[in-house]
Amino acid sequence: MTDWTGNKNSVYKTIGARNHTEGIRELNDYYATDPRAIDKLLTVTEPHVKIWEPACGGGHLSERLTELGYYVYSSDKVDRGYKRHTRTRDFLKAVDSPFNGNFDIITNPPYKYAKEFVLKALELLPHGCRCYMFLKLTFLEGRARYNEIFKDTPPKFVYVFSERIQCAKNGDFKKYKNGAVAYAWFIWQKGWTGTTKLGWI
């Protein structure tokens, strides 16, 4: 029997810690999401018809939402050539929203700024509206996230994928086909406080 020990970062790959994986991280943390993530989300919730996707990248989530009849405002800090890219803007510096009235935010944020994306979304959303964040399950951990988010503004729902959803560096799904990281949809509702409901999709 082979005594497998792996290399020095193998344990981090197993738990999905991207900062310990081999290779160079994409500069702006652009890892596109399989559009199936939207289909799974819509089995358990119904967002507002107006949606802001503030980290649209190549438009993988925006395009699927548009196909399903949602009106999507797609923005990103970097223009990656998405045909429906509405505006190049840094979400974390936004001082207003693109809509009048109710809307929701749906995105896979750059993970290194995920906490900041959640806080900014809750700042910009109208009362009662929701932000849907596609995040690694490990986002549930951490003292800073607990103190700054979960303690006073917990997500209303966390829906864990029962099968792995693929994310691909630079949107290259042909090159990146592994699915070693566990993800979930984290759903916050502006103004809601209570006990988080855990479910599976």
Residue 18: pLDDT above 70?
A: no
With 70 as the cut, is the pLDDT of residue 20 above it?
no
For residue range 91-122, what is the model confidence (pLDDT) as tens digits?
A: 999 999 999 999 999 999 998 999 999 999 99
Q: How confident is the model at residue 172 (pLDDT cuts 50, 70, 90)?
A: low
Query: What is the C-alpha separation between 121 and 187, in angstroms, rounded?
Result: 11
Higher pLDDT, 37 or 176: 37
* Rounded-to-integer distance, Cα 154 and Cα 134, Å: 15
Q: d(Cα 146, Cα 114) in Å, to the nearest integer?
A: 13
What the block records as the tokens of 155 is 């997500």
Give the tokens for residue 19: 């900062």
| pLDDT tens readout for residues 138-155 | 999 999 999 999 999 999
d(CA 194, CA 152): 9
Separation of alpha carbons 52 and 131, rounded Å? 9
pLDDT score at 11: 38
AA letter at 39: D
